[in-house]
Chains A and B, each alone.
Chain A
């Protein structure tokens, strides 16, 4: 990289840490597009990372995440907290394009300088969506925002990973959606610090709450208790309580949640990225070693787990 580009990067980082929102916005673009100066930006901000509280909101499409975040921002602004939001929107698998619509529901804060909203499309990010999101959180944190809010559609592995990056994960569902509860069963429940049944103005909200509480009881007894709350995001009902509970969970949970410190955080991210790359490689591998393992597993000589372990050991030697 040229010296001029180095100087420009340093200046961008300086402006970002001075709190200039245009600099934060531009730095996010660099991270999002995997620009060659992205690693340098990230390196330069690490000393300023670690002060923001990070709250993740995850849930099936349409349960009211954006509307709820809008109401939560209102509550946080009453407490004089500045809030940066990263809204991760799925992109069209066909064109790769996307309509980024989450921030429309947060329009109430459209002119408030204490709020920064950025849509992130889930286009083919190098290193995975979770790594990109984690880095965007770092940028917002280093830029001095008190609270960083992440919105993701709770479906795949990357959402679980994003939830793990957050200090507090709020899983949002809506009443009466059987599928929704199913989706929650598939792993998302495990990462919830708080469960919210939104749209509590609709029928069946109580029933959905009871279902969720029953599902939580099936978890290990030594797990921390997960509060189940109801909200009406459109009216703001229950939102003050939600913010209080999030704060409580944070206090009880400071060490246990967001992977603090650059070393742990990056170890986690590198491990995730490595896992993804490895899986891609192995799934399409035509190596003899892989071939042999498949043959041995199919003859019943070896378990899938042991086959994977010996392949890994051979690779990392």
Chain B
């Protein structure tokens, strides 16, 4: 088993109000077969043994499907690899004696809770504003009752692979949530079920995105490169198009329909 040693510079911050600072750690005898999070587990178990406070970081599935893990590793969200979450990042991508900077996702809309853990509930509020479709309750509809073109279904599915991790926001120099919002919109807007609320959805989600304090998109494309699911920039253009269309032609929701659509 090949092992490596790393010098870690990890962001520590005791709470949202704390200024925060980098702290040095040594990760020794790290198996190259470990994931990045397992390496942090090793560091943490050492800290616990020494009766020190472990480093807080977010994780859940550890197989790249839940979007809970985060971290900016040497300036790149989810580390240097493309199409990878931090939990899927192998230590064999690092060399012996490398210095590794580990920081939380940084954005005004993602306040740090502690150490490397940030509050991403702004995303939930954007979804609540319009990232859904309204369906009638009652008996389930026949499968395939609504025809969907294969190409549309594929594109919608590609957008739906977004796990909402926030790497797009973290990697964007403007902390823009455009790729996330665009992916969620494309996912629904490309399907027949998404049509009735399409324009209101665009207006409501964009308004919520702005209200949360995310920046605006300057088309650098870094979000898409950092996206573990490799969501395409095309979705952002689709969002811009739908938003323009909605702004030009949509009748604003009335007082009655506020709250739902």
State yes or no: do A and B come from one complex: no
Which residues of A does B touch, CB under 8 Å? none
